[in-house]
C-alpha cells in the first residue's frame, strides 16, 4: 500500500460561467466582475517583496444559508482566471461602442490545506 499511496495532495476545483449582458451598461458590469477576479488572483507588490494573492472561502449557498447538500471547500487560492469573448459564436459580436455581447469566465482554485479523514467527519453534508 505504501507503494501505491503517493501522499496527501491539495485539491483543485473550478467553476465556469457564461455572462450574456443585455446592454453595454450590463457589459461594463460584467467587465468589472471579471476585473475583480483578476485583481484578487494576482500577487501584490510590497516594497521588494510580493504579497500572496487573496485567499478565498468558497461556499455553496441556498438563500441566506449554507447548502449542506453539496461538498465543502477549504480556503483556496484563485490560480487561474480565463476569459473567452463571445464563446460559441462564429463571429465577433458587440454592442455599440465595442463591448462584447457574451463572456465566458472560468475560475480555477487550489485549496491551501490538505483534506484529512477527520475533516469529513466534522463538516457534515457531503464533506469535503
With beta carbons less than 8 A apart as the criterion, state whether 85 and 34 touch. Answer: no
pLDDT digits (tens, 9 = 90+) for 83-116: 999 999 999 999 999 999 999 999 999 999 999 8
DSSP string computed for 51-102: EPPPEE----EETTEE-TTS-----EEEEEEEEEESTT-SS--B-TTS-BS-
- In angstroms, the CA 111 to CA 78 distance is 9
- In angstroms, the CA 81 to CA 56 distance is 14
pLDDT digits (tens, 9 = 90+) for 57-84: 999 999 999 998 998 999 999 999 999 9
Q: How much is the pTM?
A: 0.85
Amino acid at each position: 500500500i505504501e507503494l501505491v499511496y503517493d501522499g496527501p495532495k491539495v485539491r483543485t476545483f473550478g467553476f465556469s460561467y457564461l455572462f450574456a449582458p443585455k446592454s453595454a451598461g450590463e457589459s461594463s458590469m460584467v467587465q468589472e466582475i471579471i476585473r475583480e477576479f483578476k485583481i484578487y488572483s494576482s500577487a501584490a507588490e510590497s516594497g521588494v517583496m510580493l504579497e500572496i494573492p487573496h485567499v478565498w472561502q468558497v461556499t455553496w449557498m441556498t438563500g441566506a444559508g449554507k447548502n449542506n447538500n453539496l461538498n465543502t471547500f477549504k480556503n483556496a487560492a484563485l490560480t487561474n482566471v480565463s476569459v473567452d469573448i463571445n464563446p460559441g459564436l462564429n463571429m465577433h459580436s458587440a454592442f455599440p461602442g465595442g463591448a462584447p455581447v457574451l463572456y465566458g469566465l472560468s475560475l480555477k482554485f487550489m485549496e491551501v490545506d490538505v483534506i484529512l479523514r477527520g475533516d469529513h467527519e466534522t463538516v457534515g453534508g457531503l464533506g469535503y
